[in-house]
Structure 1
């Protein structure tokens, strides 16, 4: 599943769980899971306009439980850390 969110600067971020779309099934979910951490997944968020993509570690059913503001905060925090 893909989520699109827009920030106040007009940048639209497309976030997708890593390895989504390769195949259906548990091996796909296992590939995206964070090793050693239950219910955590790698999510890649790519911005419009050519800025650098970020890789986030998010928990559980992130597509439905994280608000747009929560995702934008995670993206901003990751950008500042790099």
Structure 2
């Protein structure tokens, strides 16, 4: 399962993984195809250390490879502000 870990401005470590990331590669790809939105986004769950709440995001399918740490932290921060 591929995941990304980033730290926000409050020194909270966030571990982000695409939904269905625990499945075998072919099954995960098929599941991602089924849940991908019309604008190419897939569900991603980011879990913090400490007391912060888990955040669910909709990110571009290539988020693992192409989002910078700063972009990912911004997405988390924006999602937390909306909840």
Q: TM-score surpassing 0.5?
A: yes
TM bucket normalised to smaller: 0.7 to 0.9
How many correspondences in the alignment?
81
What is the TM-score with the length of structure 1 in the denominator?
Answer: 0.85
* Matching residue of 1:24: 25
Q: CA RMSD in A?
A: 1.6
- Runs of 4+ residues deviating >3 angstroms: 32-36
Q: Deviations over 1:16-57 (max 9, x none)?
A: 0011112220x3223235444253211000011031101100
Q: Could you list the runs of 5+ residues in structure 1 that have no partner in the other structure?
A: none
1-side partners of 2:79 and 2:16: how far apart? 14
What is the TM-score with the length of structure 2 in the denominator?
Answer: 0.84
Q: Could you list the runs of 5+ residues in structure 2 that have no partner in the other structure?
A: none
2-side partners of 1:53 and 1:16: how far apart? 12
